[in-house]
Amino acid sequence: MGLRQLITSVAAATAVVAAPAVGTASTPPAAPVLTGTAEPAAASADPDAPTLQDGDLDFTVERLAGGTRYTTAVAVSRRFAEVGTPVVYVATGRAFADALSAGPAASRTGGPVLFVTATGVPTATAGELSRLRPGRIVIVGGPDVVGENVRGALTAYTSGTVTRQAGADRYRTSVAVSTAAFPDGADVAYVASGQDWPDALAGGAAAVVQDAPVLLTRRGSLPDAVLAELRRLSPSRIMLVGGTAAVSDAVAAQLRTVATTERVAGADRYATALALSRRVFGASRPGVIIASGQNFPDALAGVPAAERTRGPIMLATRTSLPHSGELDRLTPRTAYVLGGTATLSIEVPKAAQRERGVCWSGPDYTGGSQQVLSTVSGTTSRKIAYTLDMGGRLEGASEIVDLLVERQVCTTFFPTSVMAATAEGRAVMAKIAAHPELFEIGNHTVHHCDLVNGGGGSPSGAPCQRAMTSSFIRQELADAEASLRAQTGLSTKPYWRPPYGSYDDFVRDQAAAVGFPKTVYWARDTIDWDPATTTAQIVARTTSPLPASGSIVLSHLGGYHTREALPQIIDVLRANGYTMTTVSDLRDG
């Protein structure tokens, strides 16, 4: 902002205070006036401050995804597998059975499971094999699922052998993998249905940490080859995964002729995965994997990674994480979400963050009655909403977002769509979109026009030199919503912030008519857009006196000293028991 923008902001805010809009949650405060007087010092730690709300400041959510099942498997491999890994296992990406047994076998040497087609090596898989340069490659499955021409193509990616482990069917293939990977037997063996994949998937992670194979069975009878392999392995315990609808009691009885057999099961695939987690995994896991319970390719690639995470695979629906409370028992440092938003929507990482983090982006509050929010009442602990406008200068904006991720500061952003579409803006919005568990966005219009007085605008004032009609105001908000949603996958509804803080009843009515009933104002303005504002002033305006719980603080992504002030703000507020979070998290209590 420049001088003209400051004058407009002050005048507009003062006008609103003089004639407050009907139905506001609170009267918007007048914009601060810059003077030569000294700013108050930033607040120091309050020795009687409450403890920061429950949660782990070191917890992170990381999505590992690609545009296809092949690229998602590569993303998992790149995260966990190291160059020069001794063995890479390769299986078809079209069916689940062969890969079920490959995961625990691959983990024994720290290698991944990558996917191919029946007739070729996808470009992404080829690129990852070139990076890894494995000592050898193992194909799991017969030539009908992975052709001999694929085997020939794979020889280009290793200085060692390319071998095939396969049987006449999925059950014998699981035996072939077990025989090769566990030549000296195993103390524990896992058995699961070969007719569906979720139970064997969840069992795979447990098998990895217990250095055990996964063998497949029919529901009603144990294949002879599997029974023979179990006798060869000579385990002291067999873990049978799944209820009687998946594997019958008759099969359990056959297993008991080999070793003590323990059935681990729940009412459904999600509850079975939970039961396995509780049975096998203790607290303080480095990581957990969250995978789809409805889409097998993304999930199967995660099994070998349990060698590194030492945690379970939790199954999720596309839009929810059943039994998310298990995360509090496991206390993982990282939750790895496998697959893109078409497989697991943003609600899944949000659920994980809500359970383990100190803040989260908050629930979907689309709709509702008109309100002006400068504070939010009813918070259950000391919280403030830290908000960042993005309507002008963007120097240093990416570094600010990086800091917010690193320090786990949940934030509401208000971008204009014209700035979000710039090269700098696209980079910033990509970082915001990558963390829907931490961040939410509101609407700041397309062009940053003064919607009451006309004029203004950023980076150009030309689009704003016109009458502020109902159709123009509505179009500014509707077009910004469409553009920002297409760019990030995140909706800006129901929040909008009027450029320059300039609004009246007429403007609010137009905003509500297109889905934006919540006008987000502020209780604290850092005035960080002004180059004359110092780092110390930004810190003091946020923290001194300590803000009332529920306060909304205004800063700018392109603020001249915002990046320098933020670490100090975070430290002071956290030392005094505050959580910095989103507007929606405030409203959630």
The answer on pLDDT for 37 being more than 70 is no
DSSP state of 102: H
- Residue pLDDT, tens place only, 439-448: 999 999 999 9
The answer on pLDDT for 21 being more than 90 is no
The residue ranking higher by pLDDT, 21 or 230, is 230
The DSSP bridge partners found for residue 216 are 192
The answer on pLDDT for 18 being more than 60 is no
The answer to whether 205 and 229 have CB atoms below 8 angstroms apart is no
Site of tokens 């007739």: 119
| Distances in whole angstroms, Cα of residue 152 to Cα of each of 275, 458, 479 | 42, 58, 52
Looking at 434-552, list the stretches that DSSP marks H as alpha helix, in order from N- to C-terminal side. Answer: 470-488, 505-513, 535-543
pLDDT band of residue 295 (cuts 50, 70, 90) is: confident
- Residue pLDDT, tens place only, 85-134: 999 999 999 999 999 999 999 999 999 999 999 999 999 999 999 999 99
Q: Residue 44: its pLDDT value, please?
A: 55
Q: Residue 299: its pLDDT value, please?
A: 87
Question: Do the bridges between strand 188-193 and strand 162-165 make them parallel or antiparallel, or are there none, so unpaired?
Answer: unpaired
Spell out the SS3 assignment of 188-240: EEEEEECCCCHHHHHHHHHHHHCCCCEEEECCCCCCHHHHHHHHHHCCCEEEE
Residue among 153, 175, 42, 186 at smallest CA distance from 102 = 175
Residues 6+ apart with CB under 8 A from 77: 112, 114, 128, 132, 301
pLDDT band of residue 3 (cuts 50, 70, 90) is: very low
The answer on pLDDT for 63 being more than 90 is yes
- Residue pLDDT, tens place only, 209-268: 999 999 999 999 999 999 999 999 999 999 999 999 999 999 999 999 999 999 999 999
pLDDT band of residue 42 (cuts 50, 70, 90) is: low
Cis peptide before 494 (omega within 30 of 0): yes
- CATH superfamily, with its number, for domain 3-28+49-54+362-587: Glycoside hydrolase/deacetylase (3.20.20.370)
- Residues 398-405 have a mean pLDDT of 98
Domain ranges of the chain: 3-28+49-54+362-587, 60-356
- Residues 49-65 have a mean pLDDT of 80
Q: Residue 33: its pLDDT value, please?
A: 29
The answer to whether 436 and 340 have CB atoms below 8 angstroms apart is no
The answer on pLDDT for 457 being more than 90 is yes
How far, in whole angstroms, is CA 479 from its chain's centroid? 27
pLDDT band of residue 15 (cuts 50, 70, 90) is: very low
- Residue pLDDT, tens place only, 467-483: 999 999 999 999 999 99
Element housing 406 (H / E): helix 397-406
